[in-house]
Structure 1
Amino acid sequence: MELKHKRVLVTGGSSGIGFAIAEAMAASGARIVIVGRGETRLSEAAAKLSAGGNKVDFVAGDVTVDIDRRCILSEAVARLGGLDILVNNAGAVRAGRLELISEADIRAMIEVDLVAPILFVREALPHLRKSGESLVVNIASAAALTGVPFYGTYAAAKAGLSRFGEALRRELKGEGVHVMTVYPVATDTPMMASSKAGADLGFGREPAEAVGKAVVEGIEANAIEVIRGGEARAKAIVLNRENPLALDERFMSMKAALEEATRDHRAF
């Protein structure tokens, strides 16, 4: 798919991966509306994204609230004159031992990371169908491919988003709506700021700009998935499939350190 003149809605677009995706798409000639809860941050992000001459607009709202989601979509479609690409990027995470995570945080992760994207796609489909050549981009996580200790609910929600995307792609095949799923590794974003896990624990952080560029490359290649992390991540995925107990042992060797490093990791 060529991105020039495409009309794009990016959730969670005021910072991190969402901002980087919007920036890379705008550089390719797409017209963008970014979405988030904080109007001031959105305004500032839109101004930065527009500095290169590309007009980037914003709509404030909470993707987990039904009326907000409908208003976001309606306003974005009105401003763009339609919709060609929906990027479900807004995310939430709370790491730690399951019994120490509140029910409210568990439900919030599932709402933001899984329920909201599903409902957003459902509500956006009539607009995407009108495009004739449209795309849904779901930002999952490497944790959807290999479960990581202390990220159980987050991994579950992102794995659910992954399988949702796969099923939806097959459901919509031949109908003018493509679906691509992205699996970032740990990325240098505000969402990771409260995590102390580093490269020694397998959480070496990739620049958000690299993810944004990879997403654009995936779109242009009509890819069905974009998996970050290079050869090391590819080997871990294969090991998890062929010898999961070996990966269990690897995590066991670092479990205490990983628990300590991630116990304060929270971003909503």
Structure 2
Amino acid sequence: MERTHTPRSATSLTGKTALVTGASAGIGRATAIALAHHGANLVVTARREDRLRQLCDHIESTGAKAVFHAGDASRDDTARQTVALAIAAFGHLDILINNAGAGNYKNLVDTTVEDYDTLMDANMKSSFLFSRHAAPLMIEQRSGTILFISSVAGLQGAPGESVYCATKFAQAGFSQSLDAELRKHNIKVGTIFPGGVKTEFALGKGRTEETIRNSTMMDPAEVAEAIVFACLQPPNLRIPQMTIRHMG
């Protein structure tokens, strides 16, 4: 009888270079550490240089390699310089995790134009910029993975979250279009939709430390494992969308 072969996901990202935005805390930091644990070289970026330096020191203490560029992910020069750093440090870029983002829970009548611009820049513009500068490199090498860390707020609207939801729906639509556009270049594009996570996200803007601490929300490390799972799939398999929720 002919035996069939069932492809399994890889267990190592050794030799791959991963860039993670918003890496100074929360999901971004946990994802960088998890990717390094699986063998990847890390390029991390966020605004807080001291935290990035500590993160790189931690990653290198485990035997992996890591470099950082501090800057605002919604600025074109930050995206350009961080992608260039990946090439200068490691020669290629294989994985882009568009994780940088912000939250602000307000009713529409309380939302200012400045609130709108801040959320759109942090969540959507950053995703566009890093993808725009990473994609040509991945097209040239005919391989790569681009993931967007959206939210369940990008699947269903909620009161008090109209602008935040708009940014997360935008990420999902952007990702779907890129999936159709880049798949012919052997580039995988997908979106992760997490539920609530115990991070600094939206502290003072709809969340408090107490409500986060006492919740059943997910730990950032748990979300990071799901993100790594999406990066570890066999060459002929992609995950366009993945929703992850806690058990609460």
TM-score, with structure 1 as normaliser: 0.80
1:188 partner SS: coil
Specify the alignment match of 1:151 in structure 2: 161
Residue 7 of structure 1, CA deviation: 0.7
Once residues 193 and 109 of structure 1 are traced to their aligned partners in structure 2, the CA distance between those partners, rounded to angstroms, is 14
Cα distance in structure 2, aligned partners of 1:127 and 1:58: 19
Q: Residues 217 and 246 of structure 2 are in contact (CA less than 8 Å); yes or no, is this contact kept in structure 1?
A: no
Q: Does 1:214 align with 2:226?
A: yes
> Post-superposition shift, 1:73?
1.7
Query: Mean alpha-carbon deviation: is it higher for 59-68 or for 25-34?
Result: 59-68
Give deviations 1:148-192, integer Å, cap 9, x for gaps: 211110110110100110111011122121101101111011114
Assess if the C-alpha contact under 8 Å between 1:13 and 1:22 holds in 2: yes
Amino acid aligned to 1:137: L
How far does the alpha carbon of each residue in 1:191-223 deviate from its partner, in whole angstroms, 9 at most, with x for none? 144304959xxx741000000001111222332
1:14 equivalent in structure 2: 24
Which has the larger share of helix?
1
Shift of 1:4: 2.0
Report if aligned partners of 2:102, 2:202 keep a CA contact under 8 Å in 1.
Answer: no
Q: How many residues align?
A: 229
Query: 1:205 and 2:221 equivalent?
Result: no
User: What is the TM-score normalised by the length of structure 2?
Assistant: 0.86
Paired residues of 2:193 and 2:243 also in contact (CA < 8 A): yes
Residues in 1 aligned to 2:141 and 2:15: alpha-carbon distance in whole angstroms:
12
* 1:46-102 deviations in Å (ceiling 9; x for gaps): 112222111221111112122222122212221121111111100011111122122
Checking the alignment, whether the CA contact within 8 Å between 1:15 and 1:45 is kept in structure 2 is: no
The residue correspondences of 1:1-268 to structure 2 (distance < 5 A) are 2=10, 3-194=13-204, 195-196=207-208, 198=211, 204-221=216-233, 222-229=238-245
Q: Distance in 1 between matches of 2:60 and 2:114?
A: 37
Equivalence for 1:235: none
Alignment identity in percent? Answer: 30
Over 4 Å off, 4+ runs: none
Secondary structure of the residue aligned to 1:215 is helix
Letter of the structure 1 residue corresponding to residue 181 of structure 2 = E
